[in-house]
A and B are shown apart, each in its own frame.
Chain A
Amino acid sequence: MGGTAGRRRVSTVTSPVTSLDLPRVVVRDLSKTFRARRSLASLLRPWRPRAKICALSNVDLTVSAGELVALVGPNGAGKTTLLKILAALVRPTAGTALIDGIDVARCPAAARARMGYVLIDDRSFFWRLTARDNLRFFSALQGIFGGAAVARIREVVSLVGLSAEIDRPFMDLSSGQRQRMSIARGLLADPPVLLFDEATRSLDPGRAMRLRRIIREVLVESNQKAVLFATHDLDEAKTMADRVGLIVEGRLAAVGSYSSLETEIESVFASAEAEP
């Protein structure tokens, strides 16, 4: 199983990692099983156990500071489930997920304070508020108020190149600007870990390229963020990632550089495309 390279023992503690050498994200033997929704027929037979769907199985993975790991895999492979477990939105069935040394299942609020889940979804903002008011509200949710919030908002919008648009209503921003707003929101608490889910989905090639450059050059290289980036765009994974984790049917099939896994990745995607 890949993903063990560079992995160190990190105890399940509630204090943040202080050394840059230690992985910022540590996932060990992580599994998630969902119970299938009850059908009308099954409601008539409540004594029968509900079917289970295995979304993740024994996943091991680490991401270090200043490293971008791309999670690739066909739709439904388990990429989003893994990100949601790390964001403490979904509770794992077994295994451990640590963000900056903090167990996300045991101390979800503390873990979330050290993680930015960059949700690239237009609908996750308040459209009738300005960009500034949106960021001010999300700063408050991160425990940043008043002058500190004003200063932090100025920093993050400058980082993603949105300073000129800050007082425009969110609904008037272009799709590329909205996606940069999502990154700005994820950076508000200056977290050491950033999780991206299909960040460039629905962007035109030029905007996608610009967003990738911000993530790679500004966040990973200049600011030493540990980035876990889910995508099913193989070119994106190839150009951006230090390492790639290939997820297939809930299992982490391989982890390594894109070039070392290229044949395996392309074969998985080819068979997914061939499925009816």
Chain B
Amino acid sequence: MRSFGNFLRLMYEFLRRDARIALSYRLQFFFQVSSVLSVAVTFFFVSLMMRDVERLIPSLARYGGGYLGFVLVGIAFSSYLNAALQTFASAIRQAQMTGTLEAMLSTKTRIGPLVAGSAVYPLSVTTFRSVLFLASGTLLGVQFHVDRVGVALLVLGLTVASTMVLGIFSAGFIVLFKQGDPLTAAIGGLSWLLSGILYPKEILPGWVQRIADLLPMTHTLEAMRLLLLAGAPPSAVVSALVYLGGFALVGIPIAVLWFGWAVERARIDGSLAKY
């Protein structure tokens, strides 16, 4: 219990460190907020353009019928995938390049908590941005089913866990090869294209939809839209919960084993802190 308490305190110290560094760049914070608002307003105008046709699109009707809500949920929650894919790998890469990795690795903390800690702040910022997206949607007239927030948080938790699998794999590639992580490009690109972030996946050819169903983000977005936009009951998202949970359950041990192997390999090669 004491070691878990220390783990949480360590995670807090990572959060504090990264927040202080981020706040030392004051303009960055302002631009992060303004970029969310500008994206929301841009899609507000796109949705105005589509106002007369959106009710003719059956795949949108499943999620309440409005395009603005559809796309804002897509952007808000897909950012968790980008955060997970980039955070773990870039935490290592950045620490290798700035020279802090060797200093951190020569303390008693193992590399696993170092990588996990580096993800705390980016995931917190992603959550803040997601809330900001949804809040700006509310201001622009989107009605969210607030009564489904509890189940939505469960979906979100499983989404973070399943995207962590990909993030840890990605970090393993960076430890081994320093650059050229194939996962970020492949999974990130495929998810952007097929998961239904900007358009419903139902408009894709059937065989492509089957590929899309393999991606965790597809299930996340479908569940989030059903819950928050259509107000569907929790039973409507059971299959998404099972998929995301299963993906995390199977994937996390494999990803951790892969990462541990990559670190050991780098220790043998003496390349752990090289870039």
Which residues of chain A have a CB within 8 Å of any CB of chain B?
Answer: 32, 34-35, 55, 81, 84, 87-91, 109-110, 112-113, 115, 117, 119, 121-126, 128-129, 133, 136-138, 140-143, 145-146, 185, 189
Contact of B107 among A110, A112, A145 (CB under 8 A): A112
Known: A81-B270, A141-B108. A126 touches B264 (CB 8 A): no
Cross-chain contact A137 with B21 (CB below 8 angstroms): no
Known: A90-B270, A126-B17, A145-B6. A112 touches B108 (CB 8 A): yes
A contact face: mostly helix, strand, loop, or mixed:
mixed
Known: A137-B17, A145-B6. A89 touches B105 (CB 8 A): yes
The answer to the question of B273 belonging to the interface, with a C-beta cut-off of 8 Å to chain A, is yes
Known: A109-B110, A137-B13, A143-B108. A124 touches B24 (CB 8 A): no
Top-6 shortest CB links A-B: A123-B99, A140-B13, A124-B103, A117-B106, A141-B107, A113-B108
Contact of B10 among A122, A124, A141 (CB under 8 A): A141
Given the complex, which residues of B lie within 8 Å of A124, measured CB to CB?
99-100, 102-103
Q: How far is the CB of A208 from chain B (nearest CB, A)?
A: 21
Cross-chain contact A119 with B103 (CB below 8 angstroms): yes
Which residues of chain B have a CB within 8 Å of any CB of chain A?
Answer: 6, 9-10, 13-14, 16-17, 20-21, 24-25, 98-100, 102-110, 114, 264, 267-270, 272-273
Cross-chain contact A129 with B20 (CB below 8 angstroms): yes
Chain A, residue nearest B265 (CB): A91
Q: How far is the CB of B196 from chain A (nearest CB, A)?
A: 39
Chain B, residue nearest A81 (CB): B270
How long is the Cα–Cα vector from A220 to B261 in the complex, in angstroms?
38
How long is the Cα–Cα vector from A130 to B98 in the complex, in angstroms?
17
- Other A-B contacts than A109-B110, A121-B102, 5 sampled, CB-CB below 8 A, are A55-B270, A87-B106, A117-B106, A119-B106, A141-B108
Given the complex, which residues of A lie within 8 Å of B106, measured CB to CB?
87-89, 112, 115, 117, 119
Given the complex, which residues of B lie within 8 Å of A34, measured CB to CB?
269-270
How long is the Cα–Cα vector from A112 to B109 in the complex, in angstroms?
9
How long is the Cα–Cα vector from A115 to B269 in the complex, in angstroms?
22
Chain B, residue nearest A105 (CB): B267
Known: A109-B108, A113-B108, A136-B13. A143 touches B6 (CB 8 A): yes
Contact of B100 among A84, A91, A112, A123 (CB under 8 A): A123
How long is the Cα–Cα vector from A125 to B17 in the complex, in angstroms?
12
Subset of 21 A-B contacts with CB under 8 Å:
A35-B269, A55-B270, A91-B264, A109-B109, A112-B107, A113-B108, A119-B106, A121-B99, A123-B99, A123-B100, A124-B100, A125-B103, A137-B16, A138-B103, A138-B104, A141-B104, A141-B107, A143-B6, A145-B6, A145-B13, A189-B107
